[in-house]
Structure 1
Amino acid sequence: MLTDRQKLILAAIIRDYVQSGKAVGSKHLLSELDLTVSTATIRNEMAALEDGGLLQKEHTSSGRVPSQRGYRYYVDELLHEPRLNQELELALNHVFERNFQQVDDLIDRMVHEIAKLTGLTVFALKPEVLDVRLSGFRLVPLNGNQVMAIVVNSDGQVTSQSFQLPAGTELDELDSMVQYINQTLVNQPVRDILKTLSGDLPLKMERMIRTPMAFLQLFGDVLARSIRDLVFTGGRLNLLDFSPDKSLSNIKQLYQLLENPQAMRKIITNANEGVMIQIGDENSFDLLAPYSMISATYRVPQLGMGALAVLGPTNMPYGDIITIVDTFRQALAQQIFAYYH
């Protein structure tokens, strides 16, 4: 058990170290806290906190810095979450008071705004919409024999891909296939349609055009892309500023991990619809051990679960980041629900 004075000293050291990144000494603490004790007493208290594993000493300074255990104690026992400030309210307004055409656009705007607000690296996953259905399919001619295939789904997602018509194929030849798809496949679950593409659908289309397989391959590719899981990233380059390991190979591996949707769902969704704070080697992947991650999930009724995470150094301002993550994830859930309803 820490005494009230030890708690005061630990909290002050963490606040100062978060702001300056420099070890904190007893003289500075005495002047900051206005305690009616000597510097020797402060040093004794700092030594006791070090013996308890909450502080550690840097070789280049007589001051102390927080340990991973010290950050954890601070987050669990001493932290008081700050209220919304004007800067955060302006950021919320900038993201959510503007119109958006697709949920992807909203989430992408949000992660970049949070990255700008925090100077850290931000990741988000949109809710897994399990019952996405095909709303429509079109082919639009471009220059020469270039054509753009456009898929529209029930979740508002619009996915397009340009391609070259096979030699000897005219766009008019594909009209019957487009009509067939819109007449028979619209309102069916996208996942079910993808299964039929490897079943009897190609046989049904052989009577319509000479080379249905190439067309169906394109249609399947665009359709699969329309429901793929994506990681939305903001502040990618910020990672270079706060990463303790400047090795480009390690940074590249970290980017690959954090942009893998399956890995990110494993990392983030442990939050169980609450805010989760992982400090140092509490993170589930070794590549994340030098960092802290504050993450939260959000659930949109009738849709699924999404997630939001901020990655930063272990001396990040935990209270501010927790408030930002919690505020944005709630606002995002409300906006997505309103969009679909």
Structure 2
Amino acid sequence: MLTERQRLILGAIITDYARLGKAVGSKSLLVDIGLPVSSATIRNEMAQLEGRGLLQKEHTSSGRIPSQLGYRYYVDYLMKKGQIAKDVQRQIQQVFSRRFQQVDDLLTQVTKIVADMTGYTVIALKPEAFDVRLSGFQLIPIDGQQNMAIVVTSDGQTTSQSFRLPKGASIAELQSIVSYINNQLVGRPIREALNSLSGDLPLDLERTIRSPQAFLQLFGDILARSIQDQVFIGGRLNVMDFTTDTRLSDMKALYQLLENPKAMRQAIGTVNDGVLIQIGDENPNPLLVPYSLLSMTYQIPKHGYGELAILGPTNLPYDDVVSLMVTIRQLVVDELKEYY
């Protein structure tokens, strides 16, 4: 265990390094911790912390910077709940004061505003679509044989697909199957509706519609896309600001990882409550080793889990970022209850 003075010194070094990005020396620490001790005593304590693997020395400075082990100790034992600044609170309130048309709009804006606030890269995955239901289906003529099929789901999501009718066919021929879909499938969970498409159609539809199965395949494709997992990313380019000595190929691979829903769910990990903090090589994916990934799940009652995450440098201000994430999560949950 560390002494109280060592804990104060480690905490002060981590706070200063997050704020300034420069190695911290004994003279500045004397001012920060306000203890009646000499610089020599501070240097001795820093050497003790270095010997325990919690600090490390930079080649270009006599000061110290935190090691990954030091950050882990800080996060586990020293971190306190930060206070969200009033201007940040105002920005958050402005985001959630507007009415969003669909879940995607909300998560797009949330990731953008949090990325702007922090300067980091923000990732969100919406709750898995266990109980999202079909709300409506319609066809809209565009031009000539070109038409648009539109699926609306219970979470406010609209998914569309343009298609071309066969030569000689008219959109009027399809109205009976559109009515069939709206009468039989609206209100049912999307996965259940997809399963029902493999069943037999009523005989009158088979007689009046040419290639009904081909049209149902089109409808099924749109339906499946409406619940497809998706990553929302704010501040994609922010990662460039805290990345050093990384090859272009590695950055390309990192961006591909961030945009892959399945890979990000695996990388983010799970925690029962609170914020999961993965620092450096604690990250299971090697592409994330240069960074810290802070993540948390959120749940909509009777629905699946979504994820919120922030990717930043290892010297980020953990207290403040964790407090911001906790606040954002509650607001997101309250807002999403309106859609599910």
TM class, shorter-length: over 0.9
Counterpart residue type for residue 30 of structure 2: L
Once the 2 structures are TM-superposed, how far is the Cα of residue 83 of structure 1 from its aligned partner?
Answer: 2.2
1:145-156 equivalences under 5 Å are 145-156=145-156
Counterpart residue type for residue 210 of structure 1: R
Q: Which residue of 1 aligns with 2:50?
A: 50
Counterpart residue type for residue 142 of structure 1: I
Q: Distance between the aligned counterparts of 1:198 and 1:22, measured in 2?
A: 63
**Identical pairs, percent:** 60
Once the 2 structures are TM-superposed, how far is the Cα of residue 126 of structure 1 from its aligned partner?
Answer: 1.4
Counterpart residue type for residue 96 of structure 2: F
1:132-147 equivalences under 5 Å are 132-147=132-147
Q: Distance between the aligned counterparts of 1:211 and 1:238, measured in 2?
A: 50
- Asked whether the 8 Å contact 2:139–2:148 carries over to 1, the reply is yes
Q: Distance between the aligned counterparts of 1:111 and 1:93, measured in 2?
A: 14
- Asked whether the 8 Å contact 2:205–2:212 carries over to 1, the reply is yes
Q: Which residue of 1 aligns with 2:182?
A: 182
Once the 2 structures are TM-superposed, how far is the Cα of residue 314 of structure 1 from its aligned partner?
Answer: 0.2
Once the 2 structures are TM-superposed, how far is the Cα of residue 60 of structure 1 from its aligned partner?
Answer: 1.7
Once the 2 structures are TM-superposed, how far is the Cα of residue 304 of structure 1 from its aligned partner?
Answer: 2.3
Deviates more, 1:261-270 or 1:21-30: 261-270
- Asked whether the 8 Å contact 2:127–2:305 carries over to 1, the reply is yes
Counterpart residue type for residue 187 of structure 1: G
Once the 2 structures are TM-superposed, how far is the Cα of residue 244 of structure 1 from its aligned partner?
Answer: 2.8
Once the 2 structures are TM-superposed, how far is the Cα of residue 216 of structure 1 from its aligned partner?
Answer: 2.1
- What are the superposed Cα offsets for residues 135-182 of structure 1, whole Å, 9 maximum, x if unpaired? 211001113322111111223222112222233322122222212211
Alignment of 1:323 onto 2:337: no
- Asked whether the 8 Å contact 1:202–1:212 carries over to 2, the reply is no
Counterpart residue type for residue 128 of structure 1: E
Alignment of 1:157 onto 2:152: no
- Asked whether the 8 Å contact 2:299–2:306 carries over to 1, the reply is yes
- Asked whether the 8 Å contact 1:269–1:297 carries over to 2, the reply is no
Counterpart residue type for residue 233 of structure 1: I
- Asked whether the 8 Å contact 1:68–1:279 carries over to 2, the reply is yes
Q: Which residue of 1 aligns with 2:103?
A: 103
- Asked whether the 8 Å contact 1:279–1:292 carries over to 2, the reply is yes
Counterpart residue type for residue 191 of structure 1: R
SS at match of 1:271: coil
SS at match of 2:113: helix
Counterpart residue type for residue 237 of structure 1: L
Q: Which residue of 1 aligns with 2:116?
A: 116
- What are the superposed Cα offsets for residues 45-71 of structure 1, whole Å, 9 maximum, x if unpaired? 111000000001111221111000100
Q: Distance between the aligned counterparts of 1:207 and 1:193, measured in 2?
A: 23
1:11–1:226 distance in 2 versus 1, CA, 3 Å: same
- Asked whether the 8 Å contact 2:55–2:64 carries over to 1, the reply is yes
Alignment of 1:309 onto 2:302: no
1:31-42 equivalences under 5 Å are 31-42=31-42
Counterpart residue type for residue 296 of structure 1: M
Q: Give TM-score scaled by structure 1 length.
A: 0.94
Counterpart residue type for residue 87 of structure 1: D
Q: Which residue of 2 aligns with 1:243?
A: 243
Counterpart residue type for residue 308 of structure 2: L
Which ranges in structure 1 are unaligned for 5 or more consecutive residues? none
SS at match of 1:135: strand
Once the 2 structures are TM-superposed, how far is the Cα of residue 203 of structure 1 from its aligned partner?
Answer: 8.4
Give the number of equivalent residue pairs. 340
Deviates more, 1:313-322 or 1:199-208: 199-208
Deviates more, 1:186-195 or 1:288-297: 186-195
1:182-331 equivalences under 5 Å are 182-201=182-201, 205-331=205-331
- What are the superposed Cα offsets for residues 15-69 of structure 1, whole Å, 9 maximum, x if unpaired? 1111111111222222433433332222111110000000011112211110001
- Asked whether the 8 Å contact 1:269–1:307 carries over to 2, the reply is no
Once the 2 structures are TM-superposed, how far is the Cα of residue 11 of structure 1 from its aligned partner?
Answer: 1.1
1:149–1:249 distance in 2 versus 1, CA, 3 Å: same
- Asked whether the 8 Å contact 2:120–2:238 carries over to 1, the reply is yes
Q: Which residue of 2 aligns with 1:125?
A: 125
Deviates more, 1:306-315 or 1:329-338: 329-338
Q: Distance between the aligned counterparts of 1:204 and 1:132, measured in 2?
A: 30
Deviates more, 1:168-177 or 1:260-269: 260-269
Q: Give TM-score scaled by structure 2 length.
A: 0.94
Q: Distance between the aligned counterparts of 1:65 and 1:204, measured in 2?
A: 76
Q: Distance between the aligned counterparts of 2:121 and 2:164, measured in 1?
A: 38
Deviates more, 1:26-35 or 1:320-329: 26-35
1:20-39 equivalences under 5 Å are 20-39=20-39
- What are the superposed Cα offsets for residues 176-231 of structure 1, whole Å, 9 maximum, x if unpaired? 22122112222222212222334434988532322224322221111111111111
